[in-house]
Each structure stands twice: as C-alpha cells, then as structure tokens.
Chain A
Amino acid sequence: MREGGAPALVALRGVEKVYSNGVQALKGLDLTIREGEFVSLLGPSGCGKSTVLRLIAGLGELSGGTLEWSSVRHEIGFVFQDPTLMPWATVFNNIYLPLRVRGVPRAQAAPRVERAMQQVGLAGFGKAYPRELSGGMRMRASIARSLVAEPKILLMDEPFAALDEITRFRLNDDLLELWASQRWTVVFVTHSVFESVYLSTRILVMGARPGSVRSEVMLEARRDASFRNSAEYAEQCRTVSARLAEAMQA
C-alpha cells in the first residue's frame, strides 16, 4: 500500500503548544497521518515528539493551529514508555480495563481479552500480576490492553526504549506482524534511527526549539528478518541519520 493514495486519518496544521511553564514545545507543526501507515516521529529528546502524540490522543489542548480527524474521532490506542499497568490487578484485569470502562460485562469480554493475550504471546498469563512478569512481558500486556479495544489508530510513545535489544527486536517483529494483520495505523515515537527505519513506512524527522517536522523520509514496506542485515537497511539508516543530524543543527 502506497501511503500517497490512502485517505488522511488525522491532519495537524500549524500546531503550536506552549506549556503553562512557558516552554514552547511545538511551533508551526504540520503533519498528516494517512490510513494504514506506520509513521515514526524521530528526533532528539526535547523536540516535542511525545507532545505531538498526546495532542493527537486528545490529552492536552492545542495552543494554536488545528487538529482535524477525517470523520468522527476514531478509537485510539495508546502505549506509553512504561507499561503503565495497574500493579494491583492481574494481567487479565489490566487488559480488560478498556472494555470495563465501556461497560462490557466480564463474561462477555473474556474471549476478547483471551484473544488479545494470545496475539501478543501472553496466553496463560491471565492470573499473573505485573510484578511477576519480565519487562518485555509487561510491555506485551500493555500492547494487549490497547489491542483489546480494537483501535483504528495506535499511538506508541517510545514503547520499547527501556527494554534490552533482544527483547526489543522480538517485539519489533511482533508489532509489525500485528500491524499487518490488524490493518492499524501506527504513530510511533522513537529516538532510535535503526528502530524507525526497521518499522516505518514513513519517518518524520523532528527538530527541537521549537519542535517541528524538519524532513520526511518515505520507505518501502518490505520487512522480514533478513532486512535487518541487508545493505538496503544500512543505506536507509545512513540517509535517516544524515537527516537527523541536519535537523539537530538547524
């Protein structure tokens, strides 16, 4: 699927964000997310990439500019950098949370929760508490929780930044598989060039002070395990690194 042809899902025009402490996080930010895309927001820390994600999610007000959805607001899934699980609740109850809020009875939700757990490879861990899981498994539970609500768009804020490389690679692959099968639109915030090139169909490189999109890189959606070692991957990482360096100088 070429992104150019897909309809826009959400468009931000001239978006500005000033926090109450006077920090200008974003200024003149333009970006459009199209249906079915896997977009990465790549940039140094402090460039406002997480702020963009929060604004799209509706957590926080715009200080200027517009944010428009193509139609009625779509179901949104959000994955934070920490798994953000409720420590007092079992994995099952954590994943059940979005449905519980919507008033879906437990018995009715159970098959959907089980399926979400299966999809992220957590089958059989429903009765475990978050404390009893490894970092990677907690993140899987967090992804399952956003899955269970069947979101149209998934917003991920450096979800794998705190994980070790082996776990991160495996979760990257699993995420791509889910993206392909669920026909999601994903907006993925990261500061890793390698991760963004591996995952995305499009990378938006952001710069700081004030945060805005500095350049855009389109990528072919062609991923398998061998891609990580290909010359093509290395070449694309070089290109994106160069763009990031430019953005950080400007």
Chain B
Amino acid sequence: MKNFLVRFVPPTLVLIVGLAAWEIFVRRNAIPVYILPGPVAIVQALVRDWATLYPSLLVTLAITAGALAAATILGVAIAVLFAQSKWVELSFFPYAVILQVTPVVAIAPLIIIWVKDTAAALLICAWIVSFFPIVSNTTLGLNSTDHNLLNLLQLYGANRRQVFWYLRLPSALPFFLGGLRISGGLALIGAVVAEFVAGSGGIQSGLAYRILEAGYQLQIPRMFAALFMITGTGILIFILLTLVTHLALRRWHESAMKREG
C-alpha cells in the first residue's frame, strides 16, 4: 500500500498542478479554443464527442492488439529460428534490422497500395514497427543461457528439444518480456502512424483519422481529446505489460526483487 502511494501520488500531484496551470494560463490570456483549448474544454469535447471517439478508440485498439499479438508470435518464432543456428541468425538478422530502421511512414503508402484490406494494411504497418524489440531481445535471451547449466544437461544426456524447453526458453523469458514492453508502445505508435497515412474515412476510422478530421474542421478541443485517448491507451498498455512482467518474474528474477538495504 505504501509502495502504491509512493508510486502514484507524486505523478498525480504533478498532473493536477500542471492541468490547473494550463487552465489558468489559457483563461488569463484569453487564448481562443481553436489555438489552445484548456483542459476543461477538452474534457467537454471528450464527453460531447464520445459517441464518435469511442468507436474510433476501439478500432485503433484492435489494430494495436492485433499487431502486438502478431509481433509476439512471429517475433518469438523468428528468435527461436535464429537461435537454432548461428548461420540462420547471421543470414537473416540484417533484414530484420532493415525493416526496423526503415521509417514506417515511408513504407506505409506502399503497403496500403499493395494490401486491399485497409485493416490488414494497418496491421502490417504496426507489426513492422513493433516486432523488432521482441526478436532482438528474445534472440539475446535464448543465447544467454548459463553455460554450466548447458554443460550439466549435456552430462545428463539431454537432447536438443529438452535443452530448449527446460533451459533456453525459461532463461529467455525476462529478455522477451523486456522486449514486449517496448513493443507494446511501438504497436500503438505504428497503428496511429499507419492510420494517418491511410487517412481512410468511413466506419473503420481510428483515432488518428479523428485527429485529422478534427484538424480540418478546426475542432481543436476534439483533436486534443483524441490525442489524450491515444496517450492514455499507451500508458494503459505499458502498465498492463509491466504487471504481466512482474507477475511472471516476481519469484526469481533480480528485476522484480525489492533490494533490501
């Protein structure tokens, strides 16, 4: 409980003070809402436009979740493949890097042209942005198994499959979870960026499209409201994945241990 208070009270105080200062600043200087709305105006917009914003949130969320799931499954699968042989890793790792360093904004238009289904195209874009941390971390983890434990299993006559399941996979878990936490945020960013590029209207529109739309209509408070929803979603994803990490590692990994003074 004390831990919880220490963790959440200071940032919450900062938030409250910051929002208050913002509101006061906007009112004092009589800044028009179409330049910078105050928090109150943004909350009003959020409530008023909830009926359009909420379905958009679900669209963005679905793409993010789908991309993260694909990044996890394919990322781990690729890492396992890399871990099977040094040659496979050396041959294909550079291409994973190339996919990672190419800005998604630059390839998103191509993908949107090639893939007919917009949702699938967005999913692919978000996946490209988010899969790399999982691949690189999990590969590192699979290759970081304690050598003496490997020797021990060899001594007991374990086969490759047993070494993999009993030793390499569990010792890669903290590395994988570290990658997953980064990928969670990146999946959301990838989804939003791809939505911006796609800019598609209609019922399948995510939050990024709502921001664009509100911009055209000079509905700046609604723009902020959508922006806050994206940020809130990102924070929520981070908290959720941190919780998962903590639950998985709390009994044995240094990172989840409290340091006793």
A-B CB contact pairs (8 Å), 19 listed: A57-B155, A76-B155, A78-B151, A78-B155, A82-B148, A84-B146, A84-B148, A84-B152, A86-B166, A86-B171, A87-B252, A87-B253, A88-B173, A88-B251, A97-B166, A98-B156, A101-B158, A101-B166, A129-B252
Cβ contacts under 8 Å, A223 to chain B? none
A159 at interface by CB-CB < 8 Å: no
A130 pairs with B166, CB closer than 8 A? no
Interface of B (DSSP majority class): helix
Per the bound structure, the CA–CA distance linking A101 and B252 in Å amounts to 22
Q: Which of A113-159 contact B (CB under 8 A)?
A: 129-131, 149
For residue A80, CB closer than 8 A to chain B, the reply is yes
Query: 5 nearest interchain CB pairs?
Result: A84-B148, A101-B158, A101-B156, A87-B252, A88-B170
Distance, CA A149 to CA B146, complexed state (A):
21
Contact A129/B251 with A86-B149, A86-B167, A88-B173 known, Cβ cut-off 8 Å: yes
B173 A80 Cβ-Cβ under 8 A: no
Report the interface size class on chain A: 20 to 34
Residues of chain A with a CB closer than 8 A to B166's CB = 86, 97, 100-101
A57 to B155, CA, bound (A): 7
Residues of A within 8 A of B202 (CB): none
Residue tally, chain B, CB below 8 Å to A? 21
Interface pair A80/B148, CB less than 8 Å apart: yes
Residues on A with C-beta less than 8 A from B158 are 101
Q: Are B155 and A59 in contact (CB under 8 A)?
A: yes
Chain B residues within 8 Å of A76, by CB: 155
Alpha-carbon separation in the docked complex, A88 to B173 (Å): 10
Chain B, residues 239-256, CB within 8 Å of chain A (1/0): the string is: 000000000000111000
Q: List the B side residues contacting A89 at CB < 8 Å.
A: 170, 252
Contacts of B162 in A (CB 8 A): 101
Residue of A nearest to B253 (CB): A87
Q: With a CB–CB cut-off of 8 A, which chain B residues contact A80? A: 148, 152
